[in-house]
A and B are shown apart, each in its own frame.
Chain A
């Protein structure tokens, strides 16, 4: 006879990662779109990095022109569906919505955007006429949001576009980074497929372009090259014991979870180190997946965290415990992690420092380091004449996305150091126009 106690219910992933912004139904979309005031010079639109004409698409939804609404969105933002789901709308469009000034709930812009674009994707609508091949071709490195956006823009002008992607799927961090309760893998992939079918760019997977010869090869073959390579692995925190088993980087941890949404059985007590959005995501996701205790430890005070307030709120709701003004000094354990040794910190007269003698230990069996991603500097140095700033970000002319090597353009996390999907989309599009500006003059 089976022991009922041993029967662990299979975690229901759909429930654990229930979408924060589920697809609206027709009535929701109708009533919500009815509320929009159709502001002039709309502040929501001005707050959108891709400048989507929000009042227009909302009015189109309200008046029953769903495909027109989707066209409005896609004309400004090629990843309109993904952005509708993953954008931190609270600090972008919705944060600027005039309703917030009256303490009335902002228009649900993200979900309306998702509603309209979802309809277009499911119906395989085509909004753009792709001209004949114009005789020139461009290589795009990285099929993340920046690369995809740049590719779409270039296809609109008739360039052949070949995307080289190191992984075996597109969408970059929008697929393997963004929290699973914001967007499902299927949704992220569906939009890229929708775009590929419409714009006809080529994607070559499992093609990491990294060494000098590979770049040379591309330079010979293509008229211009766009770098949408994003960032690299999680950085080190440079404390003793961080090489131990079960002490891993947050982006790697999240990528694993997104491929296979289970915690390793030993991960019962988890410590997440960091105070940014990635730390919040890693902590929230761990807690939702059933870790018994998740402690988020940050060196400074709560108000100094870089994470958006609503992301920390979400982590707290998921059961994460915040611990502030504590700096890790050692990861403890033999081969495997057994705990973290911290020291308390304080800021006195503007000076931040450790409090001597305040060390203490927190037991845990998994440490997640979320103290930032590295830049892809080792790869970038292989491109001659391409300059980076002191923190490893590729330097570009912001009006055109052109780097200091005239054949190369860049955008997204690799340029801005790590922002949002929507910024990557905006920068990819600008670079697409920049490349066209250059190549159309060179004819």
Chain B
């Protein structure tokens, strides 16, 4: 039997899916509704210093028929009164004692921090999340990412909080920094119980090319915002993995950034996250996606024989290595399944113009299935990624009898290219057409 329950740094929840702090957690009404539909926890829309919001607030990246593959906002923390939020928090906890309610906080002075921590504890919060991530509006006032980008400041404030906290404290990190593990280590040093990442990425989501202003437009002007949604998942995954692998971090990780379906969730867990937070996908589709998230996660765990999240958390981490530890002798070549090929020739032009000229067209123009030239194929994957047919191009292993060897080993054996024209350089055997040959296409297009 699969059990989705988690105990995240002491915060218990019926499943790992939490609403991330944002518009879906603006009110007790929304959070109750979400819990009722199956969400395991919710991080309350950040409480703190009073603010006023503008309109409009959002912008999006759409891609060929898909709406909101990337999402951008210039919203600030909650603009509702603290007393209303606290009263609703108490009510939610009364109805859902077993669900995780986490109060996200952002204030300025030590006094404010320690007061608000006690307020939310009194309201019954199960945990606290420190918002050191917001990359717009708040950072100009010395909060949000302005804190997250300064490990020393982050450490100090976290210590203030830890002095009074009786419930687990999560530090939410900003990705707007070169090395995410630095603030993560600072959180650890300050005694935080967990980290959450990523917050939004500082961004300009686009430009209104007729009005000469970036989105979202507020009257005639705009400002940079925070980027999130499916497009940011790869960035979040990398940062989660960096924190999970770092020996001086070693804190439970709540994974955030572009989670929209159970596969995304599994990926975050495999890289070390043990709770998951979702914002944009709920803003796009509503709370109902929880049914797909939990049922998908359950079937994945069942089919892999995992009975708890802990059993596979971080399972991919040992396999993410430095480049120089990869096997240089591993060799794959593209292979086209001719029974599946639809003859779009996208693989051909991708390899021809964008890679290694390793795919040929048939001389007989009526035969549209391209052919792989294995000599030239470097096994880059490009064609397989581009082919619109499921499992039509596969990458087939060819190095059966070769011992694995890494850059590290070859360096030790003194067998690496060292000069610019070195015979040992990898591309030497690869045939590249002469420049002038390019012009023969001029008349055929």
Assess whether A41 is interfacial by the CB under 8 Å rule: yes
- Residues of chain B within 8 A (CB-CB) of A99 are 342
Please, how many angstroms separate the alpha-carbon atoms of A34 and B67 in the complex? 11
Categorize the interface residue count of chain B: 10 to 19
Shortest distance between the CB of A281 and any CB in chain B (Å)? 32
Please, how many angstroms separate the alpha-carbon atoms of A34 and B64 in the complex? 5
- Residues of chain B within 8 A (CB-CB) of A309 are none
Shortest distance between the CB of A22 and any CB in chain B (Å)? 21
Please, how many angstroms separate the alpha-carbon atoms of A43 and B368 in the complex? 9
Chain A contacts with B in 17-69, Cβ cutoff 8 A: 30-31, 34-35, 37-41, 43, 62
Please, how many angstroms separate the alpha-carbon atoms of A68 and B415 in the complex? 55
* B344 in contact with A40 (CB, 8 Å): yes
Asked, given contacts A34-B64, A37-B388, A43-B368, whether A101 binds B346 with beta carbons under 8 Å apart, the answer is no
* B64 in contact with A40 (CB, 8 Å): no
A40 in complex: contacting residue of B66, B342, B346, CB < 8 Å: B346
Please, how many angstroms separate the alpha-carbon atoms of A368 and B343 in the complex? 44
- Residues of chain A within 8 A (CB-CB) of B345 are 39-41
* B64 in contact with A39 (CB, 8 Å): no
* A30 in contact with B344 (CB, 8 Å): no
- Write out, one digit per residue, whether chain A residues 85-115 have a CB within 8 A of any chain B CB (1) or not (0): 0000000000000110110000000000000
B343 in complex: contacting residue of A30, A38, A43, CB < 8 Å: A43
- Residues of chain B within 8 A (CB-CB) of A37 are 344, 346, 388
* A101 in contact with B64 (CB, 8 Å): no
Assess whether B382 is interfacial by the CB under 8 Å rule: no
Shortest distance between the CB of A336 and any CB in chain B (Å)? 54
Please, how many angstroms separate the alpha-carbon atoms of A35 and B344 in the complex? 13
Asked, given contacts A30-B65, A34-B64, A34-B65, whether A39 binds B344 with beta carbons under 8 Å apart, the answer is yes
Residue of A nearest to B65 (CB): A34
Shortest distance between the CB of B350 and any CB in chain A (Å)? 9
Q: Looking at A30, A35, A41, which has the most chain B CB atoms within 10 Å of its CB?
A: A41
Assess whether B328 is interfacial by the CB under 8 Å rule: no
Please, how many angstroms separate the alpha-carbon atoms of A294 and B151 in the complex? 85
Please, how many angstroms separate the alpha-carbon atoms of A99 and B344 in the complex? 9
- Residues of chain B within 8 A (CB-CB) of A30 are 65
Chain B contacts with A in 342-370, Cβ cutoff 8 A: 342-346, 348-349, 361, 368
Please, how many angstroms separate the alpha-carbon atoms of A38 and B347 in the complex? 12
Residue of B nearest to A64 (CB): B209
Please, how many angstroms separate the alpha-carbon atoms of A102 and B348 in the complex? 19
Chain B contacts with A in 81-105, Cβ cutoff 8 A: none
- Residues of chain B within 8 A (CB-CB) of A102 are 342, 389
Please, how many angstroms separate the alpha-carbon atoms of A242 and B361 in the complex? 57
Please, how many angstroms separate the alpha-carbon atoms of A39 and B342 in the complex? 10
Residue of B nearest to A46 (CB): B365
Asked, given contacts A31-B65, A43-B368, whether A98 binds B348 with beta carbons under 8 Å apart, the answer is no
Interface positions of B (Cβ within 8 A of A): 64-66, 342-346, 348-349, 361, 368, 388-389
Question: A41-B345, A102-B342 known; 4 other A-B pairs, CB under 8 Å?
Answer: A30-B65, A38-B346, A40-B344, A101-B342
27 chain-A/chain-B pairs, Cβ below 8 angstroms: A30-B65, A31-B65, A34-B64, A34-B65, A34-B66, A35-B65, A37-B344, A39-B343, A39-B344, A39-B346, A40-B345, A40-B346, A40-B348, A40-B349, A41-B345, A41-B361, A41-B368, A43-B368, A62-B64, A98-B342, A98-B343, A98-B388, A99-B342, A101-B342, A101-B343, A102-B342, A102-B389
